[in-house]
């Protein structure tokens, strides 16, 4: 029967678990604070670096691997993902041989690119089969890291908008983002864009150190989901056979301050992706709170705090409303929407089975949706890859009541503009999959966690 040893690690005979936990063990107080702080700092600067691999994203990916080894995680039940891996690899190599530009439009060596893609697919699939020997440590790392990231981003936005630090304004972040490893904006084009904005009295975008509003919004969204999953799992471990005794609109695993901070910041940065992410979180909250409406017990303090938070959120929403209304009204003619979703209209059934091999139907501006890119590279292999990961996170999230939230978060990560098979996306993916895998150790065989 599984149990906990003194270090908090499960004794279940996993191969290498004892070796790894001893090899990477250090004082709980230090690891519980230093590790999440370093992790959070790396995620804040995830897009910076000298080159693609000499960069913060590579260091962050290596830190994820260290965390996995420190937790004694080991793959299991990998026969199905192995089948998906070979299906994807075979169809990808087939596409690369017939139509190399589908795999990469700017690579001089498609074979090397294909090997890299296959390697990242293997990492994604392998990460979904891990079984942590010390799940509590991993949950604490991601709970604290995600909270630190959300808090840091909110504070950065407040400092930037308040003018407390004179040089930390929107223009500073826009221009420093020229050097980001995945940003292809030249300085002269940014200067011209800034001049146009000044002439029309339009403020620069808010993207901090990420180079894109939607990327910043994705970070906030994934960190919020990661914090919810980690907190709910830790609370379940504390109260495995009963509901939390608190009443009112308390939802297990949700910090109201982090929730309002993340959602308010997502609204304020004015990214169309934010609307989608806020709708996902809103749907989860409605589903979680609705069964508890009858337990509402308001005190003067909670009522005052609620009114204050709703008031602040209302002011932020009122200021950002014109932007979102404009984006909704012009969605059908939006270049961004066309880049991310319009290419689907030109594809035929055989493209979804074997990949895109017709150069006449290649999107002129490339693939701007990771989901579509995976399918166009490997056809049915890409569909199987996405379906396996979605099924995995859905069933891992069911006992915690976050099945749909987890599945939609996976889609959000993969649909984000930019390369999905990259170190930075593996880091973002780890904020979802590792807490879910760790939570599985607490809730397997136990009572489902109801909100």
Please report whether residue 264 resides in a domain. Answer: yes
φ, ψ for residue 339, nearest 5 deg: -65, -40
Please report whether residue 451 resides in a domain. Answer: no
Please report whether residue 1 resides in a domain. Answer: no
Q: How far apart are the first and last CA of the chain?
A: 28
Residues 6+ away with beta carbon under 8 Å from 299: none
The per-residue pLDDT for range 176-194, each reduced to its tens digit, is 777 676 655 666 667 776 6
Cα 417 from chain centroid?
Answer: 13
Please report whether residue 154 resides in a domain. Answer: yes
pLDDT band at residue 346 under the 50/70/90 scheme: low
Reading the block at residue 267, the tokens are: 């609204």
Please report whether residue 3 resides in a domain. Answer: no
Please report whether residue 9 resides in a domain. Answer: no
Residues 175, 187: contact at Cβ < 8 Å? yes
Q: Is the per-residue pLDDT at 3 higher than 50?
A: no
Residue 223 to residue 409: CA distance in whole angstroms:
10
Number of domains in the chain: 1
pLDDT score, position 355: 78
The per-residue pLDDT for range 197-234, each reduced to its tens digit, is 777 776 777 888 887 888 899 999 999 999 999 988 88
Residues 170, 203: contact at Cβ < 8 Å? yes
Give the lowest-confidence range in 82-96, 237-251, 321-335. Answer: 237-251
φ, ψ for residue 75, nearest 5 deg: -65, 150
Residues 6+ away with beta carbon under 8 Å from 122: 85
Q: Is the per-residue pLDDT at 85 higher than 90?
A: yes
Length of the chain, in residues: 451
Look at 276 and 295; give whichever has higher pLDDT.
276
User: What dihedral do alpha carbons 64, 66, 69, 73 form, nearest 10°?
Assistant: -10
Residue 179 to residue 50: CA distance in whole angstroms:
8
Residue 60's domain spans which residues? 17-443
pLDDT score, position 213: 83
pLDDT band at residue 315 under the 50/70/90 scheme: low
Residue 432 to residue 414: CA distance in whole angstroms:
12
Largest Cα–Cα distance in the chain? 70
Reading the block at residue 439, the tokens are: 């939570």
Question: Which residues on adjacent β-strands are paired with residue 55?
Answer: 49
Out of 46-55, 214-223, 410-419, the most confident range is 214-223
Nearest to 41 by CA among 28, 58, 60, 26: 60
Please report whether residue 448 resides in a domain. Answer: no
Alpha helices for 45-134 (secondary structure H) = 56-70, 79-98, 100-103, 110-127
Please report whether residue 63 resides in a domain. Answer: yes
pLDDT score, position 370: 73
The chain-wide mean pLDDT, for the chain, equals 76
pLDDT band at residue 9 under the 50/70/90 scheme: very low
Residue 451 to residue 9: CA distance in whole angstroms:
28
């Amino acid at each position: 029967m599984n149990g906990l040893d003194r270090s908090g690690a499960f004794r279940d005979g996993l191969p290498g678990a004892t070796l790894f936990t001893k090899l990477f063990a250090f004082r709980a107080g230090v690891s519980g604070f230093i590790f999440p702080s370093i992790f959070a700092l790396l995620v804040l600067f995830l897009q910076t670096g000298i080159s693609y691999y000499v960069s913060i994203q590579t260091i962050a990916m290596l830190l994820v691997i260290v965390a996995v080894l420190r937790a004694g995680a080991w793959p299991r039940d990998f026969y199905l993902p192995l089948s998906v891996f070979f299906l994807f690899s075979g169809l990808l190599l087939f596409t690369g041989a017939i139509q190399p530009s589908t795999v990469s439009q700017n690579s001089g060596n498609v074979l090397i690119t294909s090997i890299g893609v296959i390697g990242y697919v293997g990492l994604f699939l392998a990460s979904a089969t891990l079984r942590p020997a010390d799940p509590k440590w991993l949950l604490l790392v991601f709970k604290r890291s995600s909270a630190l990231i959300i808090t840091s981003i909110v504070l950065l936005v407040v400092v930037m908008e308040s003018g407390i630090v004179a040089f930390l304004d929107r223009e500073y972040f826009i221009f420093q983002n020229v050097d980001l490893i995945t940003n292809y904006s030249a300085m002269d084009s940014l200067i011209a864009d800034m001049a146009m904005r000044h002439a029309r009295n339009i403020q620069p975008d808010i993207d901090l150190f990420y180079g894109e509003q939607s990327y910043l919004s994705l970070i906030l969204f994934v960190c919020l989901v990661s914090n919810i999953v980690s907190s709910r799992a830790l609370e379940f471990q504390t109260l495995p056979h009963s509901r939390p005794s608190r009443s009112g609109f308390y939802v297990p695993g949700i910090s109201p301050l982090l929730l309002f901070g993340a959602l308010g910041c997502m609204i304020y940065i004015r990214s169309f992706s934010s609307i989608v992410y806020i709708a996902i979180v809103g749907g989860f909250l409605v589903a979680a709170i609705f069964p508890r409406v009858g337990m509402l017990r308001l005190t003067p303090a909670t009522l005052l705090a609620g009114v204050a938070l709703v008031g602040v959120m209302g002011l932020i929403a009122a200021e950002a409303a014109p932007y979102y209304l404009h984006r909704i009204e012009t969605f059908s003619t939006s270049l961004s929407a066309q880049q991310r979703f319009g290419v689907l209209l030109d594809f035929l059934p055989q493209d979804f089975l074997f990949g895109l091999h017709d150069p006449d139907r290649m999107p002129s501006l490339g693939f701007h949706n990771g989901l579509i890119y995976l399918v166009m590279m490997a056809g049915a292999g890409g569909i199987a890859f996405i379906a396996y990961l979605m099924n995995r996170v859905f069933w891992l999230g069911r006992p915690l009541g976050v099945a749909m939230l987890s599945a939609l978060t996976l889609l959000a990560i993969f649909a984000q503009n930019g390369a999905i098979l990259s170190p930075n996306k593996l880091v973002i993916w780890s904020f979802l999959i590792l807490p879910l895998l760790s939570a599985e150790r607490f809730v397997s065989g136990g009572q489902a966690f109801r909100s």
